[in-house]
Amino acid sequence: MSGVKIPTMWQAAAEDIITPLISEQMPGFADLIASDKYFAVSRGLPHAWILLPLTQGITNQSISKDEATAIARDYQNILTVAFFKTYLAQAKEYRSYLNTSYFKTIAQAPFSLSLVRSLPERE
């Protein structure tokens, strides 16, 4: 990852048991050298839909697969449009959607959405 210099949007799930946030996702994001990097972290959504019952057991949430899927798709669509309009279409007005306050605005209960722009360097 240390060779990636282009703008990057990295999406992760906090309760991901396949690729855990702290041991696998965060170190990879921290290694990115791109100056424009975005780490979108959702809470309560699974890595894969087959794991939704397990994730719900961990988070004590009871929401249908269809509801969770719809929210995850909303997040994916909103974030990718904002990111690609900003960096591929060079539509700078979309950059205003790539910030913490906007992520909080679009978050849908019970699945929070956070944005991290940088992490402390690893030793």
At 35-89, the pLDDT tens digits run 999 999 998 877 666 666 666 666 666 777 788 888 888 999 999 999 999 999 9
The CA–CA distances, whole Å, from 18 to 1, 47, 55, 122 equal 19, 7, 11, 22
β-pairing verdict for 8-13 and 113-116? unpaired
More confident residue, 49 or 108: 108
More confident residue, 34 or 46: 34
pLDDT above 80: residue 123: no
CB-CB contact of 78 with 44 (8 Å): no
Phi, psi dihedral angles at 110 (to 5 degrees):
-95, 20
Residue-level pLDDT at 57: 63
Q: List, in order, residues 6 or more apart from 94 with CB less than 8 Å away.
A: 81, 82, 85, 86
| Residue among 32, 7, 11 at smallest CA distance from 89 | 7
Q: Name 11's bridge partners.
A: 40
